[in-house]
């Protein structure tokens, strides 16, 4: 798939796009990074890219002139973005740079969306709200919460995916934490990882289920579909405050015990707000993540048995890095990792391919960015014969930007 409604920018700083690759020379594995006509308008932020049922969609938060936000989305088709559509609006949402909404196509017609709704009385008390569309994102069910604990605590960092003919939601659940925002050791209780099924009618089926009784408080979750069913990754949290990456598999209508992707041994007395990313093809699973037991580092690990075991990790980058990773597994077995790298001008969004033995191409600068929280988490997804990127431009006003590059 090749972009049509685009404008090629040669490292145009005003849009933060770096179409020249490292040191101004195109890299052999990726074509020129080309800016797209963005569907999101001024005041937009925190994009999320998703693929499913043959559809590629991007969602974002759009600030409204009268206050509050709209959850909007657009479909990628024939090399260009379609028009923006609105799921819902609200002036009582929890809006956060790291914990952002999503719109996810699950099959040809069924889509799911989530956002976070504030509870009165505390900034850090909010519920997950989910709606389902049965006509490809045109109309949506009444919103519901996949949890019914009713506690004035945090519920967020949601991942939505298809399983057993329904929508499955996985989220971080603070019902045992006692509220507040104490993400360090000594909190009243632990954040848990929970899941629930939501039918295509927008109603929960059965009860929510605890996957892990103790997890890091504010790192993103992520999921991928293997030949043996879904896998979910998240940052775990031991009694000793070791916060390494864990993976669980769903099969036979139940969740497996967590598997440690790698023993980093990162003991940290607070949440790093830097979650893992996962992708899969068949029984191959790749996980990318940020860690810092000694120096800041990004690792990538491969599994050939649907996430049961992982080989030794490959180092993606180390030293002065911000993390905020994403990963895409290509058909030829390479995994492309993207991350945020501080630079003299602020930061760069970089991408690089890797095999199980190490780098499979040089890093490419996708766009200029910022390490500010307002820049959020850059997104990357495979679309046709190339990679689609999305990020928040922190210029005033903020705006979601997108770009495309053909794989070589």
pLDDT, one tens digit for every residue, the chain (408 residues): 333 333 333 333 334 554 444 433 445 899 999 999 999 999 999 999 999 999 999 999 999 999 999 999 999 999 999 999 999 999 999 999 999 999 999 998 999 999 999 999 888 899 999 999 999 999 999 999 999 999 999 999 999 999 988 999 999 999 999 876 544 444 568 999 999 999 999 999 999 999 999 999 999 999 999 999 999 999 999 999 999 999 999 998 899 999 999 999 999 999 999 999 999 999 999 999 999 999 999 999 999 999 999 999 999 999 999 999 999 999 999 999 999 999 999 999 999 999 999 999 999 999 999 999 999 999 999 998 999 999 999 999 999 999 999 999
Structure tokens at 7: 């404008």
Structure tokens at 17: 């796009």
347 CA to centre of own chain = 19
Q: Note whether 58 and 87 are within 8 A (CB).
A: no
Is the peptide bond prior to 101 cis by the omega test (within 30 degrees of 0)? Answer: no
Which of left, alpha, beta for 375 (phi over 0: left; psi -120 to 50: alpha)? alpha
**Sole residue written with tokens 């790749």:** 286
Q: What is the pLDDT of residues 74-107, one digit of tens each?
A: 999 999 999 999 999 999 999 999 999 999 999 9
Local structure of 15: helix, strand or coil? helix
Give, in order, the Cα–Cα distances in Å from 345 to each of 84, 322, 399: 31, 14, 19
Which pTM was predicted?
A: 0.93
> Which domains does the chain possess?
43-327 (2.120.10.10)
Largest CA distance in the chain: 55
Q: Note whether 219 and 272 are within 8 A (CB).
A: yes
Distance of alpha carbon 156 from alpha carbon 100, whole angstroms? 9
């Amino acid at each position: 798939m090749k972009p049509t409604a685009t404008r090629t920018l040669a490292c145009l700083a005003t849009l933060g796009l770096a179409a020249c690759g490292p040191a101004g020379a195109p890299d052999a594995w990726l074509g020129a990074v080309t800016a797209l006509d963005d569907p999101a308008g001024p005041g937009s932020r925190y994009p999320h890219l998703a693929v499913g049922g043959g559809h590629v969609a991007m969602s974002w938060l759009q600030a409204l002139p009268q206050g509050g936000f709209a959850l909007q989305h657009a479909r990628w088709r024939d090399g260009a973005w379609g028009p923006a559509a609105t799921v819902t609006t609200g002036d009582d949402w929890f809006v956060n740079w790291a914990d952002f909404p999503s719109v996810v196509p699950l099959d040809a017609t069924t889509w799911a969306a989530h956002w976070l709704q504030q509870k009165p009385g505390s900034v850090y008390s909010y519920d997950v709200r989910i709606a389902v569309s049965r006509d490809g994102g045109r109309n949506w069910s009444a919103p519901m919460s996949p949890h019914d604990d009713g506690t004035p605590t945090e519920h967020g960092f949601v991942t939505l995916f298809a399983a057993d003919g329904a929508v499955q939601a996985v989220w971080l659940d603070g019902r045992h934490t006692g509220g507040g925002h104490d993400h360090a050791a000594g909190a009243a209780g632990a954040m848990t990882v929970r899941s629930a099924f939501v039918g295509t009618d927008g109603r929960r089926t059965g009860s929510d289920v605890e996957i892990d009784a103790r997890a890091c408080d504010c790192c993103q979750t992520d999921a991928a579909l293997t030949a043996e069913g879904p896998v979910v990754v998240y940052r775990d949290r031991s009694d000793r405050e070791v916060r390494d990456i864990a993976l669980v598999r769903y099969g036979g209508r139940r969740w497996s015990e967590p598997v440690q992707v790698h023993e980093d041994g990162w003991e940290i007395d607070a949440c790093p707000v830097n979650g893992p990313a996962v992708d899969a093809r068949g029984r191959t699973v790749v996980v990318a993540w940020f860690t810092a037991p000694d120096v800041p580092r990004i690792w990538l690990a491969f599994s050939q048995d649907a996430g049961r075991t992982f080989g030794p990790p490959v180092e993606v980058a180390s030293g002065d890095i911000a993390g905020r990773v994403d990963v895409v597994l290509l058909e030829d077995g390479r995994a492309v990792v993207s991350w945020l790298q501080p630079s003299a001008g602020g930061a760069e969004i970089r991408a690089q391919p890797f095999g199980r033995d190490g780098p499979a191409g040089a890093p490419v600068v996708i766009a200029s960015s910022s390490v500010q929280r307002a820049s959020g988490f850059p997104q990357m997804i495979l679309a046709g014969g190339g990679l689609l990127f999305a990020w928040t431009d922190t210029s005033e006003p903020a705006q979601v930007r997108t770009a495309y590059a053909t794989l070589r």
